[in-house]
Every structure is written in C-alpha cells, then in structure tokens.
Amino acid sequence: MPIFQDPVEIEGHLIDSGILKYAFDKIVEHQGQFEVLDFRIGRNNQETSKVRLMVRAGSPEQLERILAALEDFGAVVDWDDCQFLAAQQDNILPDDFYSTTNFDTFVKLNGEWFPVTNQKMDSVIVWEDGCATTKKISEVKAGDQVAVGRKGIRVKPQERSREYSVFDFMSNDLTAENNKSLLIAEIAKAIAQAKETGGKVALVPGPAIIHSGADRYLKEILQMGFIDVVLTGNAFAVHDIEKAMLNTSLGVNQSTGKPEEGGHRNHLWAINEINKAGGIPKAIEAGVLKSGLMYECVRQGVRYVLAGSIRDDGPLVDVVTDCVQAQKKYIAALEDVSVVLMLASTLHSIAVGNLLRGSVKTVCVDIHEATPMKLSNRGSKQAIGLVTDVSFFLSILAAELRRHQQETVGHISHLTDHASRDA
C-alpha cells in the first residue's frame, strides 16, 4: 500500500484536557496511522505540552481527511491559506462552505493566522473588512467572501482552566447524587466574580419560574444588579405581567394556589392591557404595570429580547415575531456575555446555547434531564446541568448572591474606614 504522510504539531494542555487521546482516536477512526516523533510534557499545571506526530494514510484523500479532522484538536498542519469564495446570492452559500463549531477558530491568510470573531456554531466564516467573522446563513449577503473547504482553518479545542472552577469540574455531570446547594453556591461565586471583573450575565427564563413562585427570588437577583440581559419568549413576560396585575399565573391564584373561576381569561386580559398601552415600557410609564420581573427589567435597564413562537397568545407587542430577526437580536444581546443562566425553558435555552462560544460558562436548570443533557452535548467544558426544581435553585442562588453582596459592601466599608483613619 502506498504511504502518504505529513507531520503535524499539537500544543496545549493535551493530557488533562484529553486532547491527545481524542487526536489519536481520530487517526485510528479514519484508518490512518501515527508515529510520535517528539513529545514534551508540561511539567506543571500552567505549562503546555507539545507533540509532533507523523500521520500516515493510504491515499492523499484519506490523509487530507485525517489532517482536516485533527485541526479540530488544534493541530497545526502546514496547509496553504484558507480559501474564500463569494456568495452568489443573499442567504445562499458556496457549495463547499465550512460550517463552524462553538470553539475558538483561526483562519490562515497570506501565511498568517487570524482569529475568527463572534464565534458561534452552525455558521460560516466570512472575511470582511480585514478580519474573519461568523455569520448565520440568514446574515450572508451576495458578494460576502465565505470560507470553503477545511484547509487553513484551525480550531482551538476547549481546555480545562488552570485554576479550579466548578464549571470545569462539574461540566457534563448530570448526576442526581450531588450536593446541589454546594454546587449552587459555587455558581453564585462564579456570577459574582464575573460581575466584579466587568463580565455580563445573561438569563434565559421560562414561565415555570412564575408558576412555581420562584419569581420572588429572581426579583431579588434582578434588584441586586446581577443580570444584564434577559432572553425569553412571550409566556414568561405574559405570566409575569398576569401575576403582577391580577395575582394569578395561568389563572391559578398565587396566594391560595387554587384556580380562579374564569381564570383562563386572565393572561389574555393582561396581554390586552399591555398592548393597549403600546407595550411594556409604555405600560410602566402610564402606571398600568407597577411590579413584577418585566417591570424590574425596565426599571434596572436590563436589556431584554422576547422572541416569538407558534404557541404564543397575543402576543405582546414587544415580542419579535419574525424568528430570523429574533435570532439576530439574541446574537447582538449575547455579545460580551460571560455567564448564562438557562432556567426552565427548553426552546429558548437551546436557541441560546446554539449561539454561544464554547468558553461561555452556562448553567442549565430543568426539572427533566433532557434539556441539560442536550446543552452539555454541545461539547462545552463549561456547562453545568442541574436537574431540579427552578424554585429550589433560585432560592439558594438569591441567598448566596445576597451573601456575596453583603460581603462586598462590608469589604468596601472596611476599606473606607481604614482610609478615613489614615487621613
């Protein structure tokens, strides 16, 4: 059998992040062979490892397939530049387009590697204004230079962070047999840290938060200023407003827990009142809506997007009913977000999960394991799935965030006392 071979180099935290094992498996899966030419192991948890391999295959096509697959593990292959082809029409891709993952990606042009900005999965790479960026099919315009093939495109696989983070060590672990309160305390710590370092936190809430009475905890979290962005649908806003205006959620009295006579009409009444006023912000201005979570979002200046669905009643005039437009608004709102809380919504959690780069810390809470499981299958090493009642989760999270906030206030007043004594 003729042998075709090429050397490749992979550098990174190859052992503890499992990258080397996956790379070897990939070569074997494609029925190729490898020979380790050189292997330098990082001597501590900061230092990276580096391996040089000779990859062998029975045909040039097979070798190319293996090398292209190895690029998903950060392998540097001595390819030529990445190829770009112009899209011939709006929303139509060149046949051999490259489809992105949620991992950081680089393209080679004029022998130099450029990072791809705005990384998200199921998109294409477009070379625009001297840099590479991702676009969804719906964003591609005629004339856009779209990356094709796989050569000259390198993906940096997700590595474990060098310091202990609950997001690294509990990711993709859906076991019911863990101490959820301790885990939620760690999540609160990560949220507080993100905020202290200028990061943004996004929330993806479902209407079960209102039905289950967990809205009182979420209200406190919003008031403490821990949430920057809310991405959800019609139902969350409608039931929140129904509760704020009529004290029912889907017609169930929130003080007695009993369905009200004719209560099924209540959410339609709430939609009608808001739409009469011209939408949520105007209803607040007019004094029609005086409390609730949407009220807090407007009051706190939290950016929100309500995306439409075929299940919607009304919908509220604030809902973006064109789903392509709604997706664009979600993408814009998620820019610079470093932590995302996905709470009791399958539709919006998965929609948001598909728009995030793999390095964004995500927490998905659902009473059934299907949604957290689907989100962890995105391959992120930064996704925690919690199978539990959202009310339990939010009650502990609010208490932990309150504790963090009190500690921060205590710390600042301690420093101020010292400063005034020194003066």
Ligand X SMILES: NC(=O)c1ccc[n+]([C@@H]2O[C@H](COP(=O)([O-])OP(=O)(O)OC[C@H]3O[C@@H](n4cnc5c(N)ncnc54)[C@H](O)[C@@H]3O)[C@@H](O)[C@H]2O)c1
Binding to ligand X (CB under 6 A): which residues in 129-168? Answer: none
Nearer to ligand X, 199 or 213 (CB): 213
DSSP β-ladder status, 4-12 and 49-57 = antiparallel
Binding mask 86-105 for ligand X (x = CB under 6 A): --------------------
64 touches ligand X (CB under 6 A): no
DSSP β-ladder status, 131-135 and 112-117 = parallel
Interacting stretch for ligand X, rule CB under 6 A, among 138-146, 166-174, 233-241, 400-408? 233-241
Residues 206 and 393: their CA atoms lie apart, in Å, by: 14
Given 249, 371, 380, 382, the residue binding ligand X (CB under 6 A): 371
How far, rounded to the nearest angstrom, does the alpha carbon of residue 5 sit from its chain's CA centroid?
A: 39
Nearer to ligand X, 23 or 390 (CB): 390
Nearer to ligand X, 345 or 359 (CB): 345
Nearer to ligand X, 68 or 316 (CB): 316
234 touches ligand X (CB under 6 A): yes
- CB of 399 within 8 A of CB of 417? no
311 touches ligand X (CB under 6 A): yes
Please compute Rg for the chain using Cα positions. 25
Interacting stretch for ligand X, rule CB under 6 A, among 118-126, 186-194, 207-215, 280-288? 207-215
Binding mask 327-356 for ligand X (x = CB under 6 A): -----------------xxxxx--------
Interacting stretch for ligand X, rule CB under 6 A, among 56-64, 134-142, 170-178, 232-240? 232-240
- CB of 355 within 8 A of CB of 120? yes
Least separation in angstroms between residue 330's CB and ligand X is 12
Least separation in angstroms between residue 370's CB and ligand X is 7
Nearer to ligand X, 156 or 348 (CB): 348
Terminal CA-CA length for the chain: 83
Q: What are 306's two structure tokens?
A: 């309500």
Binding mask 235-264 for ligand X (x = CB under 6 A): x--x--------------------------
Least separation in angstroms between residue 360's CB and ligand X is 20
Interacting stretch for ligand X, rule CB under 6 A, among 158-166, 311-319, 322-330, 410-418? 311-319
Nearer to ligand X, 114 or 269 (CB): 269
Least separation in angstroms between residue 271's CB and ligand X is 8
Cβ-proximal residue to ligand X, closest one: 233
Interacting stretch for ligand X, rule CB under 6 A, among 40-48, 147-155, 362-370, 403-411? 362-370
User: How many residues of this chain bind ligand X (CB under 6 A)?
Assistant: 23
Nearer to ligand X, 96 or 313 (CB): 313
Least separation in angstroms between residue 45's CB and ligand X is 36
Least separation in angstroms between residue 184's CB and ligand X is 14
396 touches ligand X (CB under 6 A): no
Least separation in angstroms between residue 221's CB and ligand X is 16
Least separation in angstroms between residue 155's CB and ligand X is 30
Residues 367 and 101: their CA atoms lie apart, in Å, by: 28
Residues contributing to the site for ligand X (CB under 6 A): 206-208, 212, 233-235, 238, 309, 311-313, 344-348, 366-368, 371, 389-390
